[in-house]
Chain A
Amino acid sequence: MRIIMTGQSGLNKSGYLEESKKIFDEEKKSFRYETLGHKMIENYDGKIDERTILNLPKNLLDLLQSVTSKKLLEEFDYSKKEEDFLILNTHVIFRWHHGLFPTLDIDMVLKFEPDMIVCLIDTILNVKKGLKKRDTDFFNFWELFAWREEEIWLSKFMADSVGKLLGRNIPFFILPKAQGPKIFANLLIKSNLPKTYISFPITGITPEENKRNEEFKSEVKENFIAFDPLSIEDRNLTLAYYTEEEEIKEKYNKILQSIKTIKEPGKKWSPYIDEYTPLTLTKFEFSGIELIGRELLSVTETIDSQIISRDYMLIDQSDFLVMYIRADKEGEPRISAGCQSEMIYAYLNAKPVYVVFSGGEKKLSPWITQYSEVFNNVSECLAFILKEHKIKISR
Chain B
Amino acid sequence: MNNYKLYTVSWSQYCSKAESLLNEADVPFEKIVLDKWDLLAAAARDIGIRRLPALEGKGIFYEGLSEIIKFLEDK
Contacts and interface: CB of A to CB of B under 8 A. Distances in A.
Contacts, number: 84
A373 to B, nearest CB: 22
A243 interface: yes
Nearest to B64: A246
Contact of B52 (A234, A239, A328): A239
A203 B46 contact: yes
B15 interface: yes
Contacts of A245: 51, 64
A298 interface: no
Given A243-B9, A245-B51, A247-B14, A238 B44 contact: yes
Contacts of B5: 204
A236 B41 contact: yes
Contacts of A234: 41
B24 to A, nearest CB: 19
Interface string A329-370: 100001011100000000000000000000000000000000
A31 B32 CA distance: 46
A287 B12 CA distance: 16
Interface residues of A, number: 28
A243 B41 contact: no
A202 B42 contact: yes
B34 to A, nearest CB: 8
A246 B51 CA distance: 10
Contacts of B9: 240, 243
B49 interface: yes
Nearest to A229: B45
Contact of A230 (B42, B51, B64): B42
A328 B53 CA distance: 20
A139 interface: no
Nearest to A311: B45
Contacts of B59: 328, 334
A236 B37 CA distance: 7
A113 to B, nearest CB: 39
Given A239-B43, A242-B51, A243-B15, A204 B65 contact: no
A235 B41 contact: yes
Interface in A300-339: 307, 326, 328-329, 334, 336-338
Interface in B15-60: 15, 32, 34, 37-53, 56, 59
Interface in A228-259: 229-230, 233-236, 238-240, 242-247
A202 B46 CA distance: 7
A247 B14 CA distance: 7
Given A230-B38, A246-B65, A204 B46 contact: yes
Contacts of B12: 243-244, 247
B48 A287 contact: no
Name the residue in B13, B14, B46 with the highest tally of chain A Cβ atoms < 10 Å from its Cβ.
B46
Contact of A246 (B7, B14, B32, B45): B14
Nearest to A338: B45
A130 interface: no
A201 interface: yes
Given A204-B5, A246-B64, A247-B14, A230 B41 contact: yes
7 contacts: A203-B32, A230-B45, A233-B37, A236-B40, A243-B15, A328-B59, A336-B48
Closest 3 CB pairs of A and B: A201-B46, A233-B41, A242-B51
Given A203-B42, A203-B47, A247-B13, 10 more contacts: A204-B56, A234-B41, A236-B37, A236-B44, A245-B64, A246-B64, A246-B66, A326-B46, A328-B59, A338-B48
